[in-house]
Amino acid sequence: MTAEKRNIRLPRVAMVTRILFASFLFGTGIMTMGFAINGYPVGDTPDDVGRFMIALEQTGYLIFWVGFFKTVAGGLMFFPRTAPLAVLMSLPYVVNILLYVTFFAHQYLVIGLPDFAACALLIYCYFDWYRPILASPTEQPGPMSTPTSTPSGGDHAF
């Protein structure tokens, strides 16, 4: 399938969702890198989420690189040509956030669910771009290939 035949489903909805999702990823990516550099803003008596964030900071979790990756994915998503790649790049982060807000930080469901929904909608909208990745390989006979339809002894080789 050539690039000219790759359609975007719901193009207007996809564009608005892409710009909003890109802004979210880019902004929170910058914020996350700031937290990695300056520390997490946690109160005097942290709740479960605050204790989790402190544990991440103390263990040396790669939070700076997560923020950097979000910033790059969000930046790439602003451009229509690189948006399908950026949507796939954001998928692991979005699934992680969905699991985090579902099982741990329920108060952030209002952020995690739309985050996941935007990524899922964009995957649907750009699905024609992903078809070559999902297609099964077709065997093309070459000069050195042998026929695979019948074994070398016929049906009764043994």
| Residue ranges covered by each domain of the chain | 11-132
pLDDT exceeds cutoff 50 at 93: yes
Confidence label for 1 from pLDDT (cuts 50, 70 and 90)? very low
Pairwise pLDDT comparison (11 vs 47), residue with the higher score: 11
| Closest to 9 (Cα-Cα) out of 98, 92, 131, 115 | 131
Per-residue pLDDT tens over the stretch 36-85: 788 767 666 777 777 777 777 777 677 888 899 999 999 999 999 999 99
Per-residue pLDDT averaged across 81-103, rounded? Answer: 92
pTM: 0.72
Pairwise pLDDT comparison (8 vs 118), residue with the higher score: 118
Between the alpha carbon of residue 92 and those of residues 89, 116, 157, the distances in Å are 7, 10, 49
| Region of poorest pLDDT, from 2-11, 25-34, 88-97, 148-157 | 148-157
pLDDT exceeds cutoff 70 at 15: yes
Provide the sign of the torsion angle of the four alpha carbons 21, 23, 26, 31, taken in this order: negative
Q: Residues 95, 97, 100, CA angle at the centre, nearest 5°?
A: 110
Amino acid at 106: H
